[in-house]
Amino acid sequence: MGLNDTPSGERVHIGLYGRTNVGKSSLINGIANQEIAMVSNLKGTTTDPVYKAMELLPMGPVVLMDTPGLDDDSQLGKQRIQKSYQLINKTDIGILVTDGINPLTEIELELINRFRQKNIPFLIVVNKADQLVNNSEDVFSTQILPQMAQQVLFVSALNKEDMIRLRNEIAKTFISNGDEKFLVRDLMAKGDKIVLVIPIDKAAPKGRLILPQQQTIREILDGDGIVIMAKEDQLESIISENESQIRMVITDSQVFEQVEKIVPREIPLTSFSILFARYKGELEQLVKGAQRIDELPNDCEILISEGCSHHRQCGDIGSEKLPNWIRKATNKKCNFTFTSGTQFPEDLSRFHLIIHCGGCMLNEREVKYRLACAADAKIPMTNYGIAIAHMNGILLRTIEVFPEIRK
């Protein structure tokens, strides 16, 4: 990803859902104005979710998600349906697609119910409007969906004017959270020098910075700040040369122990992971979750979950370093379960603690869904950076830079 690209986690996710052969793939091609999904009259053509990142004016950067049919009765149908329902947890705008030829079934009503339960704004799009008989629109709106008539849109994926109208309605449906959120810009002023500590170890991707580092750099530059980057063994000289001018030090959580000893107490210190905990999650909940590490019983069960699905290498933070640090900090026998990508257990009851990555590859809705799942199950949850800071005895120092925590 380049510095000017919008990460997937920062895009509005628009999901198209419905039964097989109602025209979801045709609609997504029409919305995107290009062929991105395979279209066929054969039932169940879409077997896996299809994603398309694009600009949808006037909304801006979005991800369109085409999903398998929710009535797929093939051998793998149950798994495909489960995958479709999982995607609802990252959906910012839902589009229920039906063909208008057949009345709504329990499948559509269940989908509407899920949208409402999760407070997801949604549209009901009746596709293949060109095939409807006279007065079908009135019958469909008044007899089947009288309470949702304002959310029903009749279109044909073959009609370009209908697709323009659909794009506009999608934009109207989107409800912004209101105030703009920042990773770091609200913690700095123009001209501030901010030091980023970026270790280059075996697990670091070759030839590029990881996404949290890229996003932090870009936001500091957008705020007219000055970025100073260094590896952990270069930090001491950087501090000595610029100490009086440094506004903040942001480090990779893995080197907290080393960095904390170098950075003077009067210079604020935090990590990329902790910045993302505030940006996408619920910082207070995650801080409380880290404090529960001290209360873990012997033979405890811990879920370590990552939002991306990168190849785990020797020295990987999630699968190697973090478990070792937890065992050392607690002096307890701990059993670990690892998940990645869209995988997140529906039943969390057997876990004593959940530790999540920073969530840079997930959108805010999915991060908060996972936090809500943990809260509903009464399982403490934290993230990598906050947990590591707590185990190093510096948690309070790493969060005191945030004004909402100081209150």
Q: What was the pLDDT predicted at 341?
A: 84
Quick: pLDDT tens for 171-198. 888 765 556 789 999 999 999 999 999 9
Contacts 24+ apart (CB under 8 A), 344-349: 344/305, 344/370, 344/373, 345/303, 348/303, 348/373, 348/374, 348/377, 348/379, 349/377, 349/379
CB 56 within 8 A of CB 171: yes
Q: What was the pLDDT predicted at 2?
A: 46
Measured between alpha carbons, how far is 218 from 211 in angstroms, rounded to an integer?
11
Task: Give Cβ neighbours of residue 365 (< 8 Å, ≥ 6 apart).
Answer: 13, 89, 90, 91, 92
Measured between alpha carbons, how far is 11 from 364 in angstroms, rounded to an integer?
10
Mark the ranges of the chain whose per-residue pLDDT is less than 50.
1-3, 40, 143
At residue 355, the 3 state secondary structure works out as strand
Q: What was the pLDDT predicted at 3?
A: 42
Residue type, 386: I
Measured between alpha carbons, how far is 220 from 224 in angstroms, rounded to an integer?
6
Q: What was the pLDDT predicted at 129?
A: 78
At residue 303, the 3 state secondary structure works out as strand
Q: What was the pLDDT predicted at 179?
A: 63
Going along the chain from its start, the domains and CATH numbers come out as 8-173 (3.40.50.300), 185-275 (3.40.50.11420), 286-391 (3.40.50.11410)
Q: Which residues pair with 353 in a beta bridge?
A: 302
Q: What was the pLDDT predicted at 143?
A: 46
Q: What was the pLDDT predicted at 403?
A: 79
